[in-house]
């Protein structure tokens, strides 16, 4: 009895202890559960619900030319092109699943069997990633990015994977995974990887190629076939073996895939169509940034990120075929100019490195070491479509490896030389109604204080020259004399209407001077402004803004931006535009300064334009157009530092001093070799058109009859530009077109009949013997500035032999008692 009682007491103690232990265990488990729940809640409280559609991955954007050809791809570090999973090969999908998450279709976001193993490996530091499922990897890559604290990342992965599995199908999750995988280099996603390694779309990959891509996933850069092909082949075999093990392929398919000879794509940059197109791409990016900033009200930085990661397709106006023709022409003309004395060699470069300068004395330096120098002379070219302003060619320089990044089309100003004359002299003169194409200017030695303009041919002056005849050979003196009559400020304001926006009209250094008529501008002009202004002549008097972007679409095909119609403004009359074109057609024909368009450029179609070369050959330009295109070419040396205008603290321009060394504030600009000038620029433009229009019909300006515009043709005296008088010689008569209402109404007053004493070609007096006196038709002229050549000979215009003498006869004089003779006191205006 007592023993039984003792046993009962012991049993009660055991049961009590068991109850205590059980209760404690429950409490402990509860505490662990609460702590666990709290911990998980804490770890995931800042994680938002996963959304495959809202969380945007970076996608590569594409830039297309006007014909839909890819110019380049735009992406940041990640090159990603998203494609639907339905376009991917079935064996690629199966290979990914069997290698990365064989129970993908069975679990609900994470695999309980693999979770503990992966978690323990992560805690111990032996595997930073662990055994994550495909869903977890999507959650990590799309939302979590890279978190340093691995335990927190793992818990958040599981939580997000669970939410994603509830919201999305397995197909949607797998598609997201296949499009965001990092696969080495800059490739993210299967499409980008297929292009990078095999040069083809993922949709056409075979089993061998698919298995090689799947094998890259664990360590892409280490297994890249372009780095270590044998290692990559080993990974391919491992994938094929696993697919065979799970009955996803047959033995025959496995062996065929192993035996298949993989062909890798050749290495290339993201720029598909060459380095010189980069200048246009830079311009497009700026234009698209402005579009996105306005549309979405974001900063430029945000807009830039959208471009590089938005997966846009940017449709541009560029004609890639014409761009290639321009690049080819620029290289051909500069390096092997076919008839222009000598090719431009390596010594013509600018670099601040003394070692480079020394090495450059070897004229083969730049050809052997293009990465060591900044190529000079440089070239820029812009060609647009007249009626729309669509940019067809944008060549910002000829830099290849040694690119400075200066866009010489729009960012840099240069001196236009005589190419400014149609805009600052002849255009405003004709627009005023006071002058016509027949109006003549007396091209004689002239001076304005210390300013003495000279013509391109030394010591040559051309006398009475009409505006029509003065433009093609580019006479300087008559241009300055005409500008004086038009008024510099009036002329500049007229040119501004046509789009020139860099004139300086105030300050100590400004453009309100006669030198502006010859292109001597304070800050110069941009090539894009010059092309825009010349296009007014080609576009019937309508100003149109050049544009590069036609449309922006998303990967899904929705339109983000559609360019409106061209921005146009009528700035001059159509008859004036026609007349300027008719005059400048002669520039590119025999006798004109732009004949190299045909002789070297080989272009034989209808064209018009104007050349421009500055003093010392620092800059050379050609602005020209055909009925189909308007364009401009600049050739010259970059300023040695930045190519930009230098100014002091007060905003005044710092002028170059050629006697001082190049420094940050006093820099030297090199001139082109003596054989290089506007002829090079003209030839490049012509050769571009020649290459591009080969085997094409060439349009003519004559498609627009001048009579349709009301133009009037009249016979005039080519000396005075007025109606012929009875005394005008037949050889001085010609036909001319006039803008309606400007045709001359007065008769020539320059041809007069006078008596000449033939002994000294002076005006005859009543004292001259009859046998020495003849009647002649001569030209009246005002006395002109006395200018002498280096030998001391006075310079006269070419038609001086036809002018009315400035003196009366000094041979036949009356006799006076003291024996002295009083000579005459002069002809017209005296002496």
pTM to 2 decimals?
0.73
The answer to which of 24-38, 282-296, 805-819 has the lowest mean pLDDT is: 24-38
Which two tokens mark 196?
């990078």
Residue 439, pLDDT score:
98
Which two tokens mark 241?
């073996």
Distance from C-alpha of 232 to C-alpha of 235, rounded to nearest angstrom: 5
* Number of other residues whose CB lies within 10 A of the CB of residue 254: 20
Distance from C-alpha of 580 to C-alpha of 472, rounded to nearest angstrom: 11
pLDDT category at 636 given cuts 50, 70, 90 is confident
Tell me the average pLDDT across 729-747. Answer: 97
Give the strand order in the sheet containing 313-316. 70-74, 61-64, 313-316, 549-553, 559-562
* Number of other residues whose CB lies within 10 A of the CB of residue 356: 17
Checking if the pLDDT of 728 tops 60, the result is yes
Residue 228, pLDDT score:
85
CB 670 within 8 A of CB 641: no
Which two tokens mark 813?
């004089």
**Whole-number percent of the chain with pLDDT over 90:** 54
In the CATH hierarchy, which top-level class contains the domain 415-525?
alpha beta
* Number of other residues whose CB lies within 10 A of the CB of residue 83: 19
Checking if the pLDDT of 309 tops 70, the result is yes
Higher per-residue pLDDT: 353 or 746: 746
The answer to which of 146-150, 218-222, 766-770 has the lowest mean pLDDT is: 146-150
Tell me the average pLDDT across 749-772. Answer: 94
**Whole-number percent of the chain with pLDDT over 70:** 74
Do the domains 76-259 and 415-525 sit in the same CATH topology, yes or no? no
By CB atoms closer than 10 A (0-12, 13-18, 19+), residue 417 is: buried
Checking if the pLDDT of 502 tops 90, the result is yes
Higher per-residue pLDDT: 663 or 411: 411
Residue 363, pLDDT score:
39
Could you write out the three-class secondary structure of 730-758?
Answer: HHHEEEEEECCCCCCCCECCCEEEEEEEC
Residue 808's nearest CA partner among 828, 783, 778 is 828
Binning the chain into helix, strand and coil, the percentages to the nearest 5 are 40, 15, 45
Query: How confident is the prediction for the chain on average, in pLDDT?
Result: 81
How big is the chain by its Cα radius of gyration, in Å?
A: 41
Q: What is the pLDDT of residues 693-708, one digit of tens each?
A: 998 999 999 878 899 9
Residue 674, pLDDT score:
52
Residue 579, pLDDT score:
98
Tell me the average pLDDT across 790-812. Answer: 94
Tell me the average pLDDT across 752-762. Answer: 94
CB 390 within 8 A of CB 66: yes
CB 334 within 8 A of CB 379: yes
pLDDT category at 760 given cuts 50, 70, 90 is confident
Tell me the average pLDDT across 81-96. Answer: 91
Distance from C-alpha of 207 to C-alpha of 95, rounded to nearest angstrom: 9
Helix axes 251-259, 229-245, angle to 10 degrees: 170
Checking if the pLDDT of 238 tops 90, the result is yes
Which two tokens mark 198?
């095999």
**Which helix H or strand E contains 118, and what residues bound it?**
helix 112-124
Strand partners, 763: 756, 808
pLDDT category at 822 given cuts 50, 70, 90 is very low
Strand partners, 383: 393, 631
Domain ranges for the chain, please list them: 76-259, 415-525, 706-738, 750-831
Checking if the pLDDT of 452 tops 90, the result is yes
Strand partners, 188: 80, 182
pLDDT category at 618 given cuts 50, 70, 90 is confident
| Overall fold of domain 76-259 | Penicillin binding protein transpeptidase fold (1.10.3810)
Tell me the average pLDDT across 436-455. Answer: 95
CB 434 within 8 A of CB 403: no
Tell me the average pLDDT across 35-58. Answer: 52
Distance from C-alpha of 58 to C-alpha of 76, rounded to nearest angstrom: 8
* Number of other residues whose CB lies within 10 A of the CB of residue 367: 11
Residue 308, pLDDT score:
82
End-to-end alpha-carbon separation of the chain, Å?
164
Residue 403, pLDDT score:
34
């Amino acid at each position: 009895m007592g023993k039984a009682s003792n046993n009962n007491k012991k049993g009660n103690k055991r049961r009590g202890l068991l109850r205590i232990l059980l209760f404690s265990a429950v409490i402990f488990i509860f505490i662990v559960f609460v702590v666990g729940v709290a911990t998980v809640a804490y770890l995931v409280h800042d994680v938002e619900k996963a959304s495959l559609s809202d969380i945007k991955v970076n996608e590569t954007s594409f830039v297309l030319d006007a014909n839909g050809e890819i110019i380049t791809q735009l992406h940041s570090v990640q090159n990603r092109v998203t494609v639907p999973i339905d376009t991917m090969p079935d064996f690629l999908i199966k290979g990914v699943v069997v290698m990365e998450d064989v129970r993908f279709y069975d679990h609900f976001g994470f695999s309980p069997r693999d979770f503990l193993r992966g978690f323990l490996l992560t805690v111990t530091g032996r595997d930073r990633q662990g055994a994550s499922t495909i869903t977890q990897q999507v959650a990590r890559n799309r939302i979590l990015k890279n978190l340093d604290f691995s335990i927190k990342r793992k818990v958040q992965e599981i939580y997000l994977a669970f939410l994603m599995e509830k919201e999305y199908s397995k197909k949607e999750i797998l598609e997201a995974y296949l499009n965001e995988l990092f696969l080495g280099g800059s490739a993210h996603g299967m499409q980008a990887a297929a292009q990078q390694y095999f040069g083809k779309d993922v949709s056409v990959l075979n089993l061998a190629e698919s298995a090689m891509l799947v094998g890259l996933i664990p360590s892409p850069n280490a297994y890249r076939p372009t780095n270590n092909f044998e290692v990559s082949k080993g990974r391919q075999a491992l994938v094929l073996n696993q697919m065979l093990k799970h009955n996803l392929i047959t033995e025959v398919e496995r062996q065929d895939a192993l035996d298949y000879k993989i062909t890798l794509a050749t290495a290339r940059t993201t720029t598909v169509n060459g380095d010189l197109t980069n200048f246009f791409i830079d311009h497009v990016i700026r234009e698209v940034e402005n579009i996105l900033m306005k549309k979405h009200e974001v900063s430029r930085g945000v807009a830039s990120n959208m471009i590089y990661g938005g997966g846009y397709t940017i449709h541009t106006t560029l004609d890639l075929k014409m761009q290639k023709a321009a690049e080819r022409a620029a290289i051909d003309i500069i390096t092997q100019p076919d008839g222009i004395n000598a090719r431009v060699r390596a010594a013509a470069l600018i670099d601040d490195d003394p070692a480079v300068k020394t090495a450059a004395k070897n004229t083969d330096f730049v050809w052997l070491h293009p990465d060591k120098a900044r190529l000079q002379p440089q070239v820029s070219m812009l060609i647009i479509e007249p009626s729309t302003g669509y940019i067809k060619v944008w060549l910002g320089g000829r830099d290849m490896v040694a690119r400075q990044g200066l866009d010489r089309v729009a960012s840099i100003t240069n001196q236009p030389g005589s190419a400014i004359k149609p805009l600052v002299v002849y255009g405003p003169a004709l627009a005023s109604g006071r002058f016509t194409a027949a109006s003549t200017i007396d091209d004689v030695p002239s001076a304005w204080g210390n300013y003495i303009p000279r013509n391109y041919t030394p010591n040559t002056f051309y006398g009475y020259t009409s505006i029509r005849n003065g433009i093609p050979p580019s006479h300087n003196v008559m241009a300055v004399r005409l500008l004086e009559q038009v008024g510099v400020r009036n002329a500049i304001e007229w040119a501004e209407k046509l789009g020139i926006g860099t004139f300086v009209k105030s300050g100590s250094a400004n453009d309100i001077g006669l030198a502006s008529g010859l292109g001597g501008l304070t800050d110069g002009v941009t090539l894009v402004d010059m092309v825009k202004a010349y296009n007014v002549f080609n576009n019937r008097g309508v100003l149109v803004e050049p544009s590069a972007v036609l449309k922006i679409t998303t990967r899904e095909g929705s339109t983000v931006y559609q360019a409106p119609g061209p921005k146009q403004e009528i700035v001059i009359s159509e008859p004036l535009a026609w007349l300027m074109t008719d005059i400048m057609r002669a520039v590119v024909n025999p006798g004109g300064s732009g004949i190299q368009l045909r002789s070297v450029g080989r272009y034989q179609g209808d064209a018009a334009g104007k050349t421009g070369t500055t003093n010392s050959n620092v800059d050379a330009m050609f602005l020209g157009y055909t009925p189909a295109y308007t364009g401009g070419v600049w050739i010259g040396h970059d300023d040695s530092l930045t190519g930009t205008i230098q100014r002091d603290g007060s905003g005044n321009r710092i002028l170059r001093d050629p006697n001082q060394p190049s420094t940050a504030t006093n820099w030297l600009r090199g001139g082109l070799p003596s054989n290089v000038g506007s002829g090079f620029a003209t030839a490049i433009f012509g050769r571009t058109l020649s290459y591009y229009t080969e085997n094409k019909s060439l349009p003519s300006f004559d498609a627009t009859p001048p009579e349709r515009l009301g133009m009037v043709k009249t016979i005039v005296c080519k000396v005075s530009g007025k109606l012929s008088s009875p005394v005008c010689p037949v050889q001085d008569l010609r036909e001319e077109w006039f803008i309606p209402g400007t045709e001359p109404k007065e008769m020539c007053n320059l041809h007069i009949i006078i008596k000449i004493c033939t002994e000294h070609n002076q005006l005859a007096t009543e004292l001259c013997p009859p046998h020495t006196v003849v009647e002649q038709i001569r030209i009246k002229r005002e006395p002109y500035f006395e200018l002498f050549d280096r030998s001391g000979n006075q310079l006269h215009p070419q038609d001086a032999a036809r002018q009315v003498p400035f003196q009366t006869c000094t041979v036949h004089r009356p006799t006076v008692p003291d024996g002295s003779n009083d000579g005459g006191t002069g002809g017209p205006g005296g002496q």
